[in-house]
Structure 1
Amino acid sequence: MKTFSSIKELLTVLNREHKLIIALFEKRKNLSYKYDHALELVDFDEDKIRTLIDYSVIRENGTNLELDDQFLQFFEQVLAVNEEINVSYIHEHIQNIKHNILYYLQENNETRKYGYLRQVKNALRKIGIIALRNVVDLNRNIDHAFKHEPNYKIKKAKLEHLDEKRHDIYALIGQTDQLISGEDEQTFFKVASDEELNRIIIILKSQLNECQHNLIDIQKQIIEFLNRIKYHSGVIEKLRQIKYLKDQFTLKSKTNILEILAENNAVIFEPNPAYPLKISLEVLQTDNEILDLIGKISKRIRSGVKVTQPLAGSISDEYLETQVEEEFQINLDEVKNGFLAGSNNLFDFILNYNFDKEVNFDERITIYCQMVSQYDSLFKITETYNSRQDVEFAMIYPK
């Protein structure tokens, strides 16, 4: 296994094969990424894939490829998309702070003392960030487990496991708070106090306070989800028993389902009510009040004025003549294909493009703007500008 000799070499290799690395990272949830698909992203150069394998950037699993765990965890942590909750990081940083505080108090050399102080600052800064990230990941995992896990037993087990993670995070937050206010640590903070350390402690206390409030809400959410799972699992179990008795044709004999249904007056068992708008003939014939109302309405609507509708005049023969109007339209897609096939910049290409009709300079500027707004993802827009006839434009080339 090869190792990178410098950061420059590491960044060069990652940047050179960034398309393949991005594809593997985006497909990290899939069980496999075919070797043949990876070849397409490296221009069918197997040496590039072999280089990544030799440096342990990616791993080969039969005919499949996947990112190495070390790089996968690095990308997930930097991009804040890691779903794994790891409280051991906080515990390690707490122990690291205690050791470096002890070293600082026992050290006489100012340079080495500053080194220990710097490590304490870095660890304190990381604890707050890791705690907040773990709380966010915990909340997301709880929501995902409840909404997407179809098996009720597994769903309950996952939520109980995440509740244990919540308890661990809460305990580590308490240890961190105690670390800041401990007797030995208070001596250190008084001796090594500076502006940056005080600012880090204030930010850390704010972050821990935010985490504690969020953990209280998460605890309520877990309790609610577990109660809902218990209720739904009980309903499903009863439905399974009813279905079993029904399949055995013993539902009526072994249960009192008929009595329960007879006593149940739930709206769901009632037929949908119908509300007819028309009045029945029987009511019209027997109810005198309705007849009087109809008579009053008829008197209001009735009018003695007879309205005569005027006749329309004859249609002129001019309106009956067929007229054809031709309109010339420019096919921007065809212009785009022609531009992508060449290497000239977009403005000069449109300026010299041979359209089917005469297109003046202002119209060609309009076509240039339309092309940029519709096909910008296919163009390489540079920061270089040029001008032509008092018009300044960006230099755009095909990708």
Structure 2
Amino acid sequence: MNTFNDIKELVTALKREEKLISEMFSKRKSIDYKLSDALELVDYQESRIDLLIQKSVIRENGGLLELDGQFLDFFEQVLYVSEEINLSYIDENIKSIKENIVYFLNESNENRRYTYLRFIKKTFRNMGLVTLRSVVDLRRNIENTFKNEANYKNKQLKLENLDEKRTIVTNLIQQTLALINEEELTFFNRALDEELSRIIIGLKSQLGECSHNLIEIEKQIIDYLNQIKEQGRFLEKLRKLKYLKDNFTIEAETDIKQIISNKNQVIFEVRTTQSLKLSIDFLREDDRAFDAIKRIARNYRNRLLFKQEIAESISNENLENNVEEELIINLEEVRNSFVATSDNLFNFILNYDFLKEVDFNERVTVFCQIVSQYEGELQIQDNYQTINGIEYAMVFSK
């Protein structure tokens, strides 16, 4: 196989044909890229396309061009648009870390110990990114499968397989956390430095985020599978009814007339619908979605836009600070003043200066409150007197 001699030659070739490679990558799912279309992007110099074919950057098959799988995987991985969930990579990383931890603990030479430690740090750092990417790809594949797969059986099987991958990712996260928190405590006690500590903290944060997303993904899969089962049961019944109708036995073998006669549905009755979010990839890449968006935009273009009414400004008077003072009767203070006298309580309150206007009824209320709250400190006698039709007991201080 004819390959590039060095990195400089590879980068130069990709830079020279960036327009063609970029266009082929963006159209990799929507159209079959023809050789005639590619010639326009290389100024009709077929030799430039031949060079890319010789270097295995692109492949030709019957006049159609496609990016080589190696370069396609590289671009998708770097740009985070890959739909493949690489679970084996995470599992292999866990095994590699365990092996290198053993090598590190057995090694006495500091330089070789540092080599093992550097590999462990790099692997831990990559594991967080790969796990996050796997969760994102898993969510994207679930949504695309539910929204774009036309065959119900295949749709259900694909979602069930994706659910198994979700379980595998969850187990791998648990294995990674167990490795950090339980299994290799001796290694972390010996090798923990500032960089490794920072990497482990970041990894735990990323794995925690992945765990929360996986819980939401599990709920989403269950909801999608329930919708598929409901739609499948409906289609199965519909096929049976159509079969009976085509054979003119629907009335004889079913009670369809009785059921229809009991239905009182009207044209304006609300119909139950199931919301369905359109795939971002469908909206971005499919021409039908773009045509639908333009048609909806034209319908909204002629609609009147009503300007919202603006409320009047608040007057300055309402913004001023108004202080309202109110004098409150301090029962404890009245009681303390009464204890220092030899007068009876009712007569004392009747003549007490409250620093504000207090009528007779309020003074009677104060008398009752003091007797109720400070009964243990007062001497209540059995003889009574009457003022303004109010009979009161003679109360003195003990």
The TM-score range, normalised by the shorter chain, is 0.5 to 0.7
Name the counterpart of 1:335.
none
SS where residue 60 of structure 1 aligns?
Answer: strand
SS where residue 33 of structure 2 aligns?
Answer: coil
TM-superposed CA distance for 1:115, in Å, is: 1.6
Name the counterpart of 1:288.
none
SS where residue 29 of structure 1 aligns?
Answer: coil
2: distance between equivalents of 1:187 and 1:4?
A: 46
2: distance between equivalents of 1:256 and 1:268?
A: 23
Aligned amino acid, residue 121 of structure 2:
K
2: distance between equivalents of 1:168 and 1:65?
A: 36
2: distance between equivalents of 1:63 and 1:125?
A: 43
2: distance between equivalents of 1:108 and 1:207?
A: 33
Aligned amino acid, residue 253 of structure 1:
A
Q: Deviations over 1:21-64 (max 9, x none)?
A: 11111121146211121122111222211221222111122211
Q: Deviations over 1:206-251 (max 9, x none)?
A: 1111111111111111111111111111011111111121122211
Name the counterpart of 1:264.
263
2: distance between equivalents of 1:118 and 1:29?
A: 39
Name the counterpart of 1:222.
221
1: distance between equivalents of 2:114 and 2:28?
A: 42
The 5 A counterparts of 1:30-179 are 30=30, 32-179=32-179
Q: CA RMSD in A?
A: 1.6
1: distance between equivalents of 2:3 and 2:108?
A: 38
2: distance between equivalents of 1:227 and 1:71?
A: 39
| Length, aligned pairs only | 269
Name the counterpart of 1:240.
239
2: distance between equivalents of 1:179 and 1:50?
A: 50
Aligned amino acid, residue 177 of structure 1:
L
2: distance between equivalents of 1:164 and 1:140?
A: 15
1: distance between equivalents of 2:61 and 2:54?
A: 14
Name the counterpart of 2:252.
253
1: distance between equivalents of 2:214 and 2:127?
A: 16
Name the counterpart of 2:188.
189
Name the counterpart of 2:208.
209
Aligned amino acid, residue 86 of structure 2:
N
1: distance between equivalents of 2:46 and 2:178?
A: 55
SS where residue 4 of structure 2 aligns?
Answer: coil
Q: Deviations over 1:102-142 (max 9, x none)?
A: 22112222222212111111111111111111111111111
Structure 2, gaps ≥5 residues long: 270-398
1: distance between equivalents of 2:62 and 2:100?
A: 46
TM-superposed CA distance for 1:2, in Å, is: 2.3
Q: Which structure: larger Rg? A: 2
Aligned amino acid, residue 135 of structure 2:
V
The 5 A counterparts of 1:283-322 are none
1: distance between equivalents of 2:39 and 2:87?
A: 39
Structure 1, gaps ≥5 residues long: 271-399
2: distance between equivalents of 1:232 and 1:82?
A: 30
2: distance between equivalents of 1:31 and 1:95?
A: 41
Identity %, equivalent residues: 59
TM-superposed CA distance for 1:264, in Å, is: 2.4
1: distance between equivalents of 2:264 and 2:107?
A: 82
Superposition TM-score, scaled by structure 1 size: 0.65
SS where residue 266 of structure 1 aligns?
Answer: coil
Aligned amino acid, residue 180 of structure 2:
I
1: distance between equivalents of 2:2 and 2:190?
A: 46
1: distance between equivalents of 2:55 and 2:87?
A: 29
Task: Determine if the alignment matches structure 1 residue 22 to structure 2 residue 22.
Answer: yes
2: distance between equivalents of 1:139 and 1:259?
A: 46
1: distance between equivalents of 2:58 and 2:117?
A: 37
1: distance between equivalents of 2:228 and 2:240?
A: 18
2: distance between equivalents of 1:53 and 1:152?
A: 40
Aligned amino acid, residue 20 of structure 2:
L
1: distance between equivalents of 2:136 and 2:151?
A: 24
TM-superposed CA distance for 1:182, in Å, is: 3.7
TM-superposed CA distance for 1:197, in Å, is: 0.5
Aligned amino acid, residue 104 of structure 1:
F
2: distance between equivalents of 1:157 and 1:225?
A: 12
2: distance between equivalents of 1:85 and 1:75?
A: 15
1: distance between equivalents of 2:24 and 2:2?
A: 21
TM-superposed CA distance for 1:15, in Å, is: 0.4
Aligned amino acid, residue 20 of structure 1:
L
2: distance between equivalents of 1:58 and 1:52?
A: 6
1: distance between equivalents of 2:31 and 2:159?
A: 24
2: distance between equivalents of 1:263 and 1:32?
A: 55
Aligned amino acid, residue 211 of structure 2:
Q
